[in-house]
Every structure is written in C-alpha cells, then in structure tokens.
Amino acid sequence: MSRPMVQRPVGAAIALRDDALANALLEEWLGERRQPCSLFLDVDGTLLDIAESPDAVHVPRELCVALESLHRRLDGALALVSGRPVDSLDRLFAPLRLPSCGSHGAHWRVHAGEPLRHEAERPLPAPVRQRLQALARAHPGVLVEDKGSSVALHYRQVPDAGPPLASALRELLGEPAGAGLRLLPGKMVYEVIAHSSDKAQAIRRYLDAPPFAGRRPLFIGDDVTDEPALAMMPALGGLALSVGHLLPGASASFADAASVRAALDRAARRTSR
C-alpha cells in the first residue's frame, strides 16, 4: 500500500532551525563573562531592513537603545562595520555615536568620541565619476550614491538594469581609465571603488587595539561584502553569524534583520539587569 505524500517545508524548517541556533549562539556569546567578546555588526540587511533606497531605511529607536546598552556592557567593544560612510551612519543612528568603520573599511574610529582615521583613500577619478553618472542617466531609476572614494549605482527600483550595468561597468574597469579600481557587487547595487580595504581588514585593525584587543570577535553580516570578515572569524577563534541564509564561515543564520534586532534587544535587557 502506498503511503500518503507529506509535504515538508524543508527550506522553511531549515531556516527556523538555523534562526534558533543563531539566537542561542548570540545569547551564549554575549552572556559569557570569563572570555569577553567584541561585537561587530554590519548595518543594511543585518540591523536594518532593506528599503527601496539608501535614504528610506528606518532605524527603530529600540535598536539604538539596545546598541547603546551593549556598547556599555562590552566596555566599548562594539562597532558598526558598514559599506556606508560613517557620517551616513551617524545621521541614521543620531544621537547615538558608536565605534564605526565606513565605506567597507576605508575610514574608521575605534572610540565613539574620536575623529575618523582614514586609509590612504584616493577619490574616484573625475572622468570615471562622470561615466558612472552618464550610465545612471541611461538607465532611468538607477540611483547614484557618491561616497567620495567610491560610487554606488543602485538598481533596486529597476532590476532589469542590473545585467547591462554589470557589463558596462566591467568594460569600464577594463579600460585604462579604470586601472586600479574594483567592482563590488552588493544587494541590487554595483559599487566602483578606488581603495583596497575590506571589512576583514577593518575588523583586524580593531582587534589590535583596546577595548577590542584580547576579546573573541563576533561578526554578524548578510551580504557578499561581508563574506571576507565572516570567513575569517573561525581562524580568529571568533564566531560568524549571517542573516537570511548561511554564508561561508557562518555557524548559523538569523532569519532576517528583525530577528537580529530582537536577539540584540533581549541580550541588552539581560545584561542591563
């Protein structure tokens, strides 16, 4: 006799199990008192829900309260690690200011109150910047985000523009004008970048100095630009957690940014008692 077919939500079940594991690991690491950890957090897609445009994101007040409390609890060893410039992070999280590194590691501050330090950032050459503006004009709906040493072309509002943008950008980077520049893909975005920093280097820099030095690093990220940092965590005795799906190096993944926020909120409430 044939048995009835049972439809199992395999993908959903794995995601739920992974989310529970990510929550448990975060709780264990932030609750650990003998071996204190340092916490590194990607921003878009990890702390904040993805929005239609970079300016349309919402920063919940409870998130700022939780981050401030965890920053205190970790003796200052909590940093935002973002592709956004730090001045954009400061505007979003105002009045909260945290140790932060921006533009994929090109500039950073170790302590909340200090001025930014910069890697030898060179601005994107003017002719390249003009080509990128023209490319965006040729694809109405593509948004240009100019970060100084890089320019991001966002195609979230016109997904069909993604493939032609990618091939035009590869062509540009193959020309003499594009020598030494990098193409960084992200979530519905291509970024042309004039420096060589990445988030893995940025986190290593933090780990060399107090209050981060001597602590086990924990990094949470969601995107391809987070992969070098996620992948290096196990070798540093650290922990990597991803968001949305399991990325290389991550021990578990949160279902989404809301789940990360809820886990940080619970951890902050526990530790502030």
Residue among 79, 92, 189, 240 that touches ligand L263DTV3 (CB under 6 A)? 189
Mask of contacts with ligand L263DTV3, 117-136, x by CB under 6 A?
A: --------------------
Catalytic residue among 18, 42, 223, 256: 42
| 145 in contact with ligand L263DTV3 (CB under 6 A) | yes
For 42, residues 6+ apart whose C-beta sits below 8 A from its C-beta are 80, 81, 82, 199, 219, 220, 221, 222, 223, 226
For 152, residues 6+ apart whose C-beta sits below 8 A from its C-beta are 83, 144, 145, 186, 189, 190, 191
Cβ atoms of residues 192 and 12 within 8 Å: no
DSSP letter (8 states) at residue 48? B
Q: How far apart are CA 103 and CA 84, in angstroms?
A: 5
Q: How far apart are CA 68 and CA 48, in angstroms?
A: 16
Rank residues 79 and 152 by Cβ distance to ligand L263DTV3 and give the closer one.
152
Name the residue number minimizing CB distance to ligand L263DTV3.
Answer: 83
Rank residues 47 and 246 by Cβ distance to ligand L263DTV3 and give the closer one.
47
Q: Applying CB under 6 A, which part among 26-34, 42-50, 66-74, 115-123 lies near ligand L263DTV3?
A: 42-50
| Window 198-237: residues binding ligand L263DTV3 (CB under 6 A) | 223, 225
Mask of contacts with ligand L263DTV3, 151-170, x by CB under 6 A?
A: -x-x-x--------------
Using CA atoms, how far residue 137 sits from 67, 70, 144, in Å, is: 39, 43, 9
Using CA atoms, how far residue 150 sits from 120, 127, 132, in Å, is: 13, 13, 11
Q: Residue 261 carries which side chain, given as an amino acid letter?
A: R
| Window 54-73: residues binding ligand L263DTV3 (CB under 6 A) | 54, 57
Q: Applying CB under 6 A, which part among 48-56, 212-220, 228-236, 251-259 lies near ligand L263DTV3?
A: 48-56
| 102 in contact with ligand L263DTV3 (CB under 6 A) | no
> Any catalytic annotation for residue 42?
yes
End-to-end alpha carbon distance in the chain: 60
Residue among 44, 68, 119, 227 that touches ligand L263DTV3 (CB under 6 A)? 44
| 256 in contact with ligand L263DTV3 (CB under 6 A) | no
Cβ at position 43, least distance to ligand L263DTV3 in Å: 3
Q: How far apart are CA 247 and CA 222, in angstroms?
A: 8
| 51 in contact with ligand L263DTV3 (CB under 6 A) | yes
DSSP letter (8 states) at residue 94? T
Q: Residue 106 carries which side chain, given as an amino acid letter?
A: A
**Which residue reads 């200011």 in tokens?**
97
Cβ at position 265, least distance to ligand L263DTV3 in Å: 19
Report the catalytic residues: 42
**Binding interface with ligand L263DTV3 (CB under 6 A):** 42-45, 50-54, 57, 82-84, 145, 152, 154, 156, 186-189, 223, 225
